[in-house]
Every structure is written in C-alpha cells, then in structure tokens.
Amino acid sequence: MPSNKSVSDAPIVQFTNCRILRNHQLQREDLWVREGKILNPEKLFFDEKGSADVQLDCKDSIIAPGFIDVQINGGFGVDFSLATDDFKSGIDLVSQKILSHGVTSFCPTLVTSPPSVYHQVLPQISVRNGGPLGAGILGAHLEGPFISKEKKGAHPEHCLRTFEAGAFQDLLATYGSLDCVQIVTLAPEMRRSSEVIQELTKRGICVSLGHSVANLSQAEEAVQHGATFITHLFNAMLPFHHRDPGIVGLLTSDKIPAGRRVFYGMISDGIHTNPAALRIAHRAHPKGLVLVTDAIAGMGLAPGRHTLGQQVVEIDGLNTYIAGTKTLSGSVATMDTCVRHFQEATGCSVETALEAASLHPAQLLGIEHKKGTLNYDSDADFLMLNDNLYVQATYIAGEEVWRQDASGM
C-alpha cells in the first residue's frame, strides 16, 4: 500500500484533545488537516497508511467552523460605502482585524449610494480566499438603493431609486457591474421587482428582501421568483400584524416552493431586536437564522461621530444613530459577541449558536460543501473557542491566522 507521502508531501496536522462541531453536535474526536482541507482519518490510515506529522493539543477547546458575516458595512474607521483612493487597504484592514472575532469569510456591504460610488468601489472588491493577511471575501452585498422610502432606515433618501421600464438594465446601470456581487437587498413591493429577482437569481446572485413595506403575498411572490434571504429581520420592515404579517410571515409561510428554505439575518447585539423577538424568530424557523453584525465603520473605535456611506452617525455606547436622530444605523457589534448574545437570549445549544454564524450563512450562499462545516474535504477554516464561546484562535486553510495572547489581547 502507498504511504501518505506518495499521495502528498504536505504535512498532516492532527488537532487533539478537542470537541469538534460536526453533524450538529460537539463530538470528542481529533481534527486532521492537510493542504488546507479537512482529512478523513480513516482514509488516511487504511488507504494511505499515513499518520500525523504534527500533533497540536487543543486543551479541551471547542473547534467550530469559522464565522461567515454576510452583512458588514465596515469597521475600524473603514466605510465600504465611501469611494476612497486607498479603498483596498481599508478592506484589507477590516479583513485582518475581524479574524480576532472569529470571522473567516465575509461579504463587504454597501448601503444606498450614488451610482458613482458603486462604479468606483465595486471594481476594487475581488473575491478571494482568506489567509494570514485576513478573512476571505465572498463577494459584495449591495443593500439598496432599490428600497422603500418609508423604511429607508439609515439610507439617504436622495439616493433611493425605483425600477423603470428596463428594470434589470436600471440596476446594471446603477451598479456598473455585478462581477463581484454576492447579495442584493431590495424591496419586493417595487414595480418590476419580480423580473429583477429572476435575472439576479439566474446569475447566481442571492436576492434578499429588506427595507420594505411589502405585505406577505408580495414577499411570497418574491420568494417564488427566487429570493432566499431577509435582510435584518424586524428592522426596516412593517411590524408583524396578525392579519398580514408582512415579510416576517415568510418564517412560517406555506407558500415557499418545495425544497427551498428562506433564510433571515438577525443583528443579535441586544439593541436591534429585543431578546423576546429573537426567541420568537428562532423558535418559528431555527434552520433559517443567520447571524449578521451589520457593523459600521465605528466598530472597534471609541464612541463619537463616524460615517455610514453618505450619512454621519453617532455612536453612544452600543447604540448607533444617524447624527441628531434616534434612527438606528448599523451596529458596532462583533460576530463573536452576537453569537454569545444569541445563545444567552434564546437558551439554545452551543451547537445551534455556532451554526447560525457558520453553517447557515454558508447554506444561504450555496457554499456549504466547502465552508461552514468541518466535514471531510471542506476548507479547514475553523476556530478554537472556550466553553463561554470566546475565540481563542482562528485558523484559515489549516493555518493559524490569529491567537489570543497570554495577556488576553
């Protein structure tokens, strides 16, 4: 029988003394990694007669898939909705800093902006794998400008747009290119939105419903045309009403096409949604819940004035408002904080909390065969956490890219 070296000369690393999140359960077994992928140890032993080159003692840590943030507007003074000359260095800074929050992949998110901003910024965003320099970029999330004036939230009204006669062409002209776009948030009650949803879906772009006054039947129609996500459930949409539950009603709708799942984002920061609302959503549709930070440039910075695209926002503790108002505008929460708050607020299992930030966003984007799980042959993007779900170390492609040092930094 061939030795493991005939299959690959790459070193095999065995992570021991850990509990691995696999098949929705924490299992006491070792994790084997080679060439950035998770290995099946049985194949290694029996087919290759191989063994580990390096063993690492995880000291009883939890090993979970890396977190995936599909809605993050910026952080550490960087605003993804501002067209700057050093945009690339800004996105690099954020992708490096969020490694300490356990985020191994993300979708840089642009809020409603003038076309010139999309035309300048989008060509500077490229899909890339993560590594020692930062988390991987899965593609942009364009939140607006095709959204409702009544539920614009922190989006600037003068930049909002509607679909005219050539609906999809309007969208293309506004954005300039869809090459690196992964998610588009729009309001489904807009005229001609159905054809836009179909065109985006055809191109493999995830359509999310948000910043909207849609009723339930309009939301259901959007899902039937291909929409699969809800942007920050409860925020910037009609409140639940028992006679017409609006977009929220999608969580228990019987009009979802067979075999399809609607996912919904939640900002679990203790500010954007009351813990009771978080519990209601989770109990109604646990497999669709996707934790998002909706973090803005002020994340990681001191309170004060910062930007969110075209607006000035004020950070006051954990609250972020459009300056001079009480309109919430994104969050300053980190993904690991959202995971801990979600688990605390809902009383859900550790496994459920971790999957809401890893497996579910991967399923939403259709990348669960390589991200969001620790299944054999998937990417070795994972975290070591303690029992209280604080991140101790972050790994991308099997390589340590961040570790908490002894001083707790």
Catalytic pick from 69, 79, 294, 336? 294
Tracing tokens 């419903």 back to the chain, one arrives at 209
On whether 155 is known to bind a ligand per the annotation, the reply is no
Q: CA 123, 126, 132, 136: dihedral to nearest 10 degrees?
A: 130
Q: Is 77 left (phi over 0), alpha (psi -120 to 50) or beta?
A: left
What per-residue confidence (pLDDT) applies to 51?
Answer: 86
How does pLDDT run along the chain (409 residues), one tens digit per residue?
A: 344 444 678 899 999 999 999 999 999 999 999 999 999 999 888 887 788 999 999 999 999 999 999 999 999 999 999 999 899 999 999 999 999 999 999 999 999 999 999 999 999 999 999 999 999 999 999 999 999 999 999 999 999 999 988 999 999 999 999 999 999 999 999 999 999 999 999 999 999 999 999 999 999 999 999 999 999 999 999 999 999 999 999 999 999 999 999 999 999 999 999 999 999 999 999 999 999 999 999 999 999 999 999 999 999 988 999 999 999 999 999 999 999 999 999 999 999 999 999 999 999 999 999 999 999 999 999 999 999 999 999 999 999 999 998 555 5
Distance CA 167, CA 181 (A): 18
What per-residue confidence (pLDDT) applies to 5?
Answer: 46
| Fold annotation for 65-365 | TIM Barrel (3.20.20)
State the CB neighbour count (10 A cutoff) for residue 168: 17
Do 315 and 304 contact (CB within 8 A), yes or no? yes
**pTM for this one?**
0.96
On whether 211 is known to bind a ligand per the annotation, the reply is yes
On whether 380 is known to bind a ligand per the annotation, the reply is no
Q: Which two tokens stand for residue 146?
A: 């095709």
On whether 134 is known to bind a ligand per the annotation, the reply is no
What per-residue confidence (pLDDT) applies to 408?
Answer: 52
On whether 236 is known to bind a ligand per the annotation, the reply is yes
Q: Which two tokens stand for residue 348?
A: 């859900």
Orientation angle between helical segments 193-202 and 216-224, nearest 10 degrees: 30
DSSP state at residue 82: S
30 catalytic? Reply is no
Distance CA 57, CA 383 (A): 14
145 preceded by cis ω (within 30°)?
yes
What per-residue confidence (pLDDT) applies to 43?
Answer: 87
Tracing tokens 């490694």 back to the chain, one arrives at 99
Q: Which two tokens stand for residue 375?
A: 């299944």
